[in-house]
Amino acid sequence: MLSYLDVTKLYGEVKALDGVTVEFRPGVVNALLGPNGSGKSTMMKMAVGLVRPDSGQVRVNGVDPARDPLAARRIVGYSPEEIVLYESLTPAELFSFVGSIYGVRGDAFGERTNVLIRLFRLEECMGKLIGELSHGNRRKVSIALALLHDPEVIILDEPFSGLDPQAGKILKELLRKYASEGRTVLFSTHVLELAEAVADRVTILHRGRVVGFGTPSDLKERLAAADLETAFLKATGLSEEVRGLLETLWGS
């Protein structure tokens, strides 16, 4: 379970999060949606203690990541939006490094790395330097590293970005599998068709506030929308804004 209770975060004058209250329950796939700058990455970083809330509470399986980031990181597998990996190491070295940090050793380490490498077809990448890998392959390594310690809570920030269709399909199935095992699964995306296809619950952020929460069909019904894209545009008020701008551009 990953929960936010009245969480606020300011960067100077900017309210990145403004009284966010939401629960991401285990056993379902949760998608976090929202326009650029709406606060998605800020929320996700809070779950591993990379960003501290100014007020309010964040809990991962009962742990406060701001107070005990190490305990939170043992519970959470987090893959950030920006792929930050040591360029001068190989994926094989990184797997060993991350494995040793989390105490994944021996047979468990061999078995998990082997499965993740084969799932994401990383065999040919393992001996190359991270700095030499393509964007998509770095993304795969970043996701695989997040899953290496078999975390109870999985938080992936725009994980599908840059993945080829095969890896995207594998990732969708992995998210479903983790949820079906009763783990907490949260991913962010800008691809609404993807959210509609994969997520059981969707949360929509806009200017640091939750403006929509529910199953994709709940949201569509509540907002009288034919698809999630229309529901998203209605919830975030962008359709009016965009229409106005287009009218200005074309003078109609």
Ligand X SMILES: Nc1ncnc2c1ncn2[C@@H]1O[C@H](COP(=O)(O)OP(=O)(O)OP(=O)(O)O)[C@@H](O)[C@H]1O
Cβ 221 to ligand X shortest distance, Å? 25
> How many residues contact ligand X, by CB under 6 A?
12
Q: What is the Cα gyration radius of the chain? A: 19
Among 2, 7, 16, 204, the residue binding ligand X under the rule CB under 6 A is 16
Report the C-alpha dihedral over residues 193, 195, 198, 200, rounded to 10 degrees.
Answer: -130
Structure tokens at 22: 């939401």
- The stretch among 32-40, 65-73, 136-144, 165-173 that binds ligand X (CB under 6 A) is 32-40
Q: Is 249 left (phi over 0), alpha (psi -120 to 50) or beta?
A: alpha
Q: Which is nearer to ligand X, 44 or 145 (CB)?
A: 44
Q: Which residue, 113 or 189, has its beta carbon nearer to ligand X?
A: 189
Asked if 38 is part of the footprint of Mg ion (rule: CB under 5 A), the reply reads no
The reply to whether 42 sits near ligand X by the rule CB under 6 A is yes
Helix, strand, coil share (%) of the chain residues, nearest 5:
45, 25, 35
Give the shortest CB-31-to-ligand X separation in angstroms. 13
Residue window 57-86: x/- pattern of binding to Mg ion, with contact defined by CB under 5 A? ------------------------x-----
Residue ranges with strand state E in the chain: 2-11, 14-24, 29-33, 55-60, 76-79, 153-156, 184-188, 201-206, 209-214
Pair 148, 113: CB distance under 8 Å:
yes
CB 155 within 8 A of CB 2: yes
Which residue in the set 4, 24, 31, 34 belongs to the binding site for ligand X (CB under 6 A)?
A: 34
**Can you tell me which of 11, 118, 180, 197 binds ligand X, judged by CB under 6 A?**
11
What's the burial of 89, exposed, middle or buried (CB within 10 Å: 0-12/13-18/19+)?
A: middle
Q: Give the closest residue to 189 by CA, choosing from 156, 158, 226, 161.
A: 158
* Residue 38 binds: one of Mg ion, ligand X, none (C-beta under 5 to 8 A by kind): ligand X
Among the listed ranges 9-17, 102-110, 135-143, 230-238, the one in contact with ligand X (CB under 6 A) is: 9-17
* 14 is a site residue for ligand X (CB under 6 A): yes
**Contact positions vs ligand X (CB under 6 A):** 11, 14, 16, 34, 36-42, 81
